Amino acid sequence: MQKTSRRLISVFVLMALLVSITPVIAQAAQNTQPGKDRAVFIHYKNGTVKPASPGKGGLAAKDYVFLAKGAKWKTLPVNYVIDPDNANGLSDVFITNAVSMAAEEWDRYTGTELFGSYTIDRNATWDDQMQDGRNEILFGSYPDQKVIAITVVWGWFSGPAQTRQITEMDVLFNNYYTWGDATVDPSKMDLQNIATHEIGHGAGLGDLYYTTSVDETMYGYSHEGETKKRDLFTGDIAGIRALYGN
């Protein structure tokens, strides 16, 4: 009888422990679901709007800023969708090359493969109000002609830093602008230049507005003929390495 009682007590203790642990497991699992938070980054043409405040914290010394502390992709590599339909008659090959090279520029400076493969889908959607679980990059009409591109990043950006993560990115290039290769025609908005900046947001970096940061890919303004954002600068490299390692 004594041994039976001890076994029963052990079973009850084990059941109690499982009940107490279950909510913790459920809470941790929440962050693997589509994120509840949304960050919107608007890329303005240089000179069309008043320069934004650079904020506080002495960030000019390191020239990078995070979307949110600790917010990054936890599952790598990040695969994405490109919809090459555009108003400028650019070929699928040109667009996919420009976008994939933009993504690869961030990969060059990280210790792991950050961005993986892409697929072409002409029915991609820019998800600014609701997520669909896909990282989509496409062209579309946007009513504000001062806006070159907009990136929406979804994820978990509040709570303990270790639980924060990015779950989706969606990039829209404004069809108002004439897109192309600015090394060939400087009157055009360089697709690779702008794509590198927007994908930087998708990786977890924010905009910079310091006058000392004009050479950084993540500087918040651009214009036709600009190509320097194609190549990461010192702050961009430091920022992406702070997130994903050397």
Q: Identify the CATH number of the domain in which residue 109 sits.
A: 3.40.390.10
Please indicate, yes or no, whether residues 16 and 39 belong to a single structural domain of this protein: no
**pTM for this entry:** 0.84
On whether both 140 and 183 belong to a single domain, the answer is yes
44/125 same-domain check: yes
Going by pLDDT thresholds of 50, 70 and 90, the confidence category of residue 8 is very low
Q: Mark whether 22 and 75 lie in a shared domain.
A: no
CB 167 within 8 A of CB 35: yes
pLDDT reading at 131 higher than 70: yes
Tokens of 166: 């990015």
Same domain, 10 and 131: no
Q: Is the pLDDT of residue 117 over 60?
A: yes
Residues 22, 43: one domain?
no
Report pLDDT digits (tens) over 182-225: 999 999 999 999 999 999 999 999 999 888 899 999 999 999 99
Q: How far is CA 172 from CA 24, 78, 121, 213, 233, in A?
A: 38, 18, 14, 24, 24
Structural domain including 16 reads 1-30
The pLDDT of 45-69, averaged and rounded, is: 71
**Do 185 and 235 share a domain, yes or no?**
yes
pLDDT of residue 49: 79
Contacts of 45 (CB under 8 A, 6+ apart): 146, 147, 148, 221, 222, 223
In this structure, what DSSP letter does residue 107 have? H
Count of domains forming the chain: 2
- Cα separation of 64 and 79, whole Å? 24
Q: What are phi and psi of 133, to 5 degrees?
A: 85, 5
Residue 176 near residue 145 (C-beta atoms within 8 A): yes
Domain shared by 23 and 42, yes or no: no
Same domain, 143 and 173: yes
CA–CA dist 152, 154 (Å, integer):
7
**pLDDT score of 234 more than 50:** yes
Contact between 75 and 114 (Cβ < 8 Å): no
104 with 82, same domain: the answer is yes
Query: Encoding tokens for residue 22?
Result: 């279950």
Beta strands in 64-208 (DSSP E): 78-82, 115-120, 136-140, 147-156, 165-174, 179-180, 189-190
> Is there a single domain that holds both residue 24 and residue 131?
no
9 and 67 housed in the same domain? no
**Can you give the pLDDT at residue 212?**
86
